[in-house]
A = this chain, B = another copy of it.
Amino acid sequence: MDFGIIIADVDSLRHSYTSFALSQVRLPTSIGATDLDQLDPLIGDKRLYEHREAVFHQGDPSRALYIVRSGSLKTSVADPAGGEQVLGFHLPGEIVGIGGLGKDFYLGTAEALESSNIWAIPHARLQPILEKFPILHQQLQQMVSRWADTNLEHLIIMGKTLAQVRLAMFLRSFASRCDRLSRDPLNLTLPMSRRDLASYLGLTLETVSREFSRMQAKDILAVRGKEVRILRADRLVDLCGDGQPLLHRGTSE
C-alpha cells in the first residue's frame, strides 16, 4: 500500500456539471477515449480475463485500479453467511477498484461477466505519473466523483418499492451508459445473468424474469434472453416515476 488520497488546489477543477443532483447522476465511472491515451504510461498488466474469472477478490491487498477495455465486469460483496450483494456492472471505459483506494484490501470482488480485456493501473505507478501530469488529477477526481454517483444511483434504485420501477430505472441507466459508448441505447445486450441483476436490484431472479415478461407483454420491451430491445422508451421512463430522461445528451458539458 503506497499512497493515499489528499487534497490539493486545482482551481481548474471547475468541471462540467451545470445542472445538479439526479440529473447529473450519469453512471459510468468512466474516462474518455482521449484520456485513455494519456493514461498509457500508467498501465501495468493488460490481459484477457475469461468468463467468471476474478480480477481481484474480496480481501485481497488492494494494489491497483482496473480499466475495462472490452467485455464487462461485475463487483460484489459476500457476507460470511454465503450471501452475495452485487454492487455494480462495469462496461468498457469504466474503472473498478476505486473502493480499494483508501484501503489496504478490496472490499469486494470483481469478476468478468464475459471474455474481457482489463488493464491494471498499479497504485505505485499512479502516484508518480500524477505528479508529472497534473491534468490527470482531474481525471482521477472525476473517477471518484462518478463512482460516488454510481453508488448513489444504486441506492436510489433500491429505495423503490416496486420491482417494475427498479428494473425500469436499471434499464434506463444501462441504456444511457450504452449511449455513451456509442452503442445503440435501444438495443441492449445485458452481460449479466438474471441472478446477478436480481441481486443488484434487491429482488429474486424469478421476479426479474417476470418483470421482463410483463414489460414485454405491455410492448415496452422485446426480450429474448439477454437481448433486450426498448420499444417504448417513453413508457419505460414513465415507469421510473422521476423526471429523468433516458439520454442525457446536451444536458451538460
How many copies, total?
Answer: 2
Q: Which residues of B contact A149 (CB under 8 A)?
A: 107
Please measure, in the bound complex, the distance between the C-alpha atom of A245 and the C-alpha atom of B161, giving whole angstroms. Answer: 29
Contact of A11 among B2, B58, B160 (CB under 8 A): B2
A188 at the interface (CB under 8 A from B): no
**Which B residues are in CB contact (< 8 Å) with A126?**
7
Beta-carbon contacts of A124-149 to B below 8 Å, as 1s and 0s?
00111011001001101110110011
Contact, CB under 8 Å: B81 / A242: yes
Residue A158 at the chain B interface, CB threshold 8 Å: yes
The chain A residues found within 8 Å of chain B, CB to CB, are 1-11, 13-15, 17, 20-22, 25, 58-59, 77-81, 83, 85, 87, 99, 101-108, 126-128, 130-131, 134, 137-138, 140-142, 144-145, 148-149, 151-152, 154-156, 158-161, 199, 202-204, 241-244
